[in-house]
């Protein structure tokens, strides 16, 4: 197995991680990344296999789980109920409850609302040069998920701040300051959500939180803590990834001189420059895969961004090609942890891009965009444009 060293905060890597992925993939399906002290799956075939293999999970086996520092206890108390971090059977039960409320019909019905919101935001675009992330990309998903959950969109700034602080816990090279901010955000977020759970219990509405409460009280045994964590997860995961994808996609389309959008363009954009580049799996049962013997407790890092640029399933992978055929990309993960919000994300992206280019046919980059030093997330610091 190839052994490689590459700092995830190196400026060249941050701006373009794909050459490193190509170098790693040239040595085979797996390589050892010294900076993470872990085996990484780098080919599309290997990433798909590890995402779906039931001998891998999202929970570190108990005997290998690290001790949680006291100052981080509030953060991990919430994470302990996150379906993203759980194995069956708890994962199965939580996901089933969310999918029961997060129906395809409910998502599809949001299209006119998303479209109207996009027009409203574009009406408020400033004259001259401005940051499209602030004016558009960060606002669309947070308001839509707030409406879907049934919490006031007037608290969008708070929701954004809490989400950003919590998600920063998963960025390489986090500091004590980052941790303290994440804990404070977690406590504020939990208090906020708990107040609305209490309110929805007294006066249910046609929103996601009320439907989850109904499932809980219908004997499904969804605890209040599980409910609060699920709402936080939907907002954090749904918002963060969609913002990055929308920004990355507008950048790509403008650089390719494309000013239109449909389902194929959205799907190719998600493959071409996804918002999440790494997803961890933990070995539950000793096994051998792709010529390597894995032991219980090992970590395998699935490099989603690398799998999406693998030339085996995607010929000429570094070219943006909306007519591309091939397997479904892994930007939304795979297996039992495939993103429950994928249909909503795809809808938001398509509508937001269509409305943006219809209303702003002369949209242009004002400055070369730079990616933020936030690996394993992959998104722009800003997207300065003119209309």
pLDDT in tens, the chain (387 residues): 999 999 999 999 999 999 999 999 999 999 999 999 999 999 999 999 999 999 999 999 999 999 999 999 999 999 999 998 999 988 988 888 888 877 888 899 999 999 999 999 999 999 999 999 999 999 999 999 999 889 999 998 899 899 999 999 988 888 999 999 999 999 999 999 999 888 888 899 988 888 888 875 556 667 888 889 988 988 888 788 999 999 999 999 999 999 999 999 999 999 999 999 999 999 999 999 999 999 999 999 999 999 999 999 999 999 999 999 999 999 999 999 999 999 999 999 999 999 999 999 999 999 999 999 999 999 999 999 999
Spell out the SS3 assignment of 20-38. HHHHHHCCCCEEEECCCCE
- How many CB atoms sit inside 10 A of residue 164's CB? 17
CATH number, residue 130: 1.10.630.10
pLDDT for 99: 85
As to burial, measured by CB atoms within 10 angstroms (0-12 exposed, 13-18 middle, 19+ buried), residue 57 is buried
* Largest interatomic CA distance in the chain: 60
pLDDT for 375: 94
Total domains, the chain: 1
User: Strand runs (DSSP E) across 28-113, as ranges?
Assistant: 30-33, 38-41, 56-57
Residue 377, phi then psi, degrees to nearest 5: -80, 155
- Which two three-digit tokens encode residue 143? 């308001």
pLDDT for 105: 87
pLDDT for 221: 64
Q: What's the pTM?
A: 0.94
Q: How far apart are CA 149 and CA 140, in angstroms?
A: 14
Q: How far apart are CA 148 and CA 110, in angstroms?
A: 9
Query: Within 13 Å and on the Cβ side, how many CA atoms surround 133?
Result: 22
- Residue 114 parent element (H or E): helix 111-123
CA distances from 374 to 168, 172, 221, 278 (A): 8, 7, 37, 12
Q: Which domain holds residue 129?
A: 2-386
**DSSP letters for 207-276:** SHHHHHHHHIIIII---HHHHHHHHHHHHHHHHHHHHHHHHHHHHHHHHTT-----HHHHHHHHHHS-SB
Cα–Cα nearest to 157, from 180, 127, 184, 185: 185
Q: How far apart are CA 258 and CA 322, in angstroms?
A: 10
- What radius of gyration, in Å, describes the C-alpha atoms of the chain? 21
């Amino acid at each position: 197995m190839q052994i490689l060293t590459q700092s995830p905060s190196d400026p060249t890597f941050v701006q373009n991680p794909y050459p490193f992925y190509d170098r790693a993939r040239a040595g085979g399906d797996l390589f050892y990344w010294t900076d993470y002290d872990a085996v990484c799956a780098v080919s599309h075939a290997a990433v798909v296999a590890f995402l779906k293999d039931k001998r891998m999970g999202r929970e570190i086996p108990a005997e290998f789980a690290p001790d949680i520092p006291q100052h981080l206890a509030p953060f991990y108390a919430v994470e302990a109920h996150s379906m993203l971090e759980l194995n069956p059977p708890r994962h199965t039960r939580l996901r089933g409850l969310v999918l029961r409320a997060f129906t395809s019909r409910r998502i599809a019905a949001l299209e006119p609302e998303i479209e109207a919101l996009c027009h409203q935001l574009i009406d408020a675009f400033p004259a001259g040069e401005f940051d499209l992330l602030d004016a558009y990309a960060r606002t669309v998903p947070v308001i839509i998920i707030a409406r879907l959950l049934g919490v006031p969109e007037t608290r969008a700034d708070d929701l954004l701040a809490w989400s950003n602080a919590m998600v920063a816990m998963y960025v390489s090279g986090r500091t004590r300051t980052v941790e303290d901010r994440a804990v404070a955000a977690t406590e504020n977020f939990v208090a906020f959500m708990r107040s609305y759970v209490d309110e929805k219990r007294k006066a249910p509405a046609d929103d996601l939180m009320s439907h989850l409460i109904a499932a809980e009280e219908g004997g499904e045994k969804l605890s209040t803590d599980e409910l609060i964590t699920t709402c936080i997860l939907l907002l954090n995961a749904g918002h963060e990834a969609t913002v990055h994808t929308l920004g990355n996609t507008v950048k790509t389309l403008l650089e390719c001189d494309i000013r239109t959008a449909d389902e194929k363009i959205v799907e190719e954009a998600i493959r071409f420059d996804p918002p999440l580049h790494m997803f961890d799996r933990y070995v539950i049962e000793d096994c051998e895969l792709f010529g390597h013997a894995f032991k219980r407790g090992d970590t395998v890092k699935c490099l989603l961004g690398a799998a999406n640029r693998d030339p085996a399933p995607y010929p000429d992978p570094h070219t943006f090609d909306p007519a591309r055929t091939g397997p479904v990309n892994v930007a939304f993960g795979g297996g039992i942890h495939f993103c429950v919000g994928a249909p909503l994300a795809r809808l938001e992206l398509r509508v937001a891009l269509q409305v943006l280019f219809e209303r702003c046919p002369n949209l242009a980059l004002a400055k070369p965009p730079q990616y933020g030093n936030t690996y394993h997330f992959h998104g722009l610091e800003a997207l300065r444009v003119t209309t």
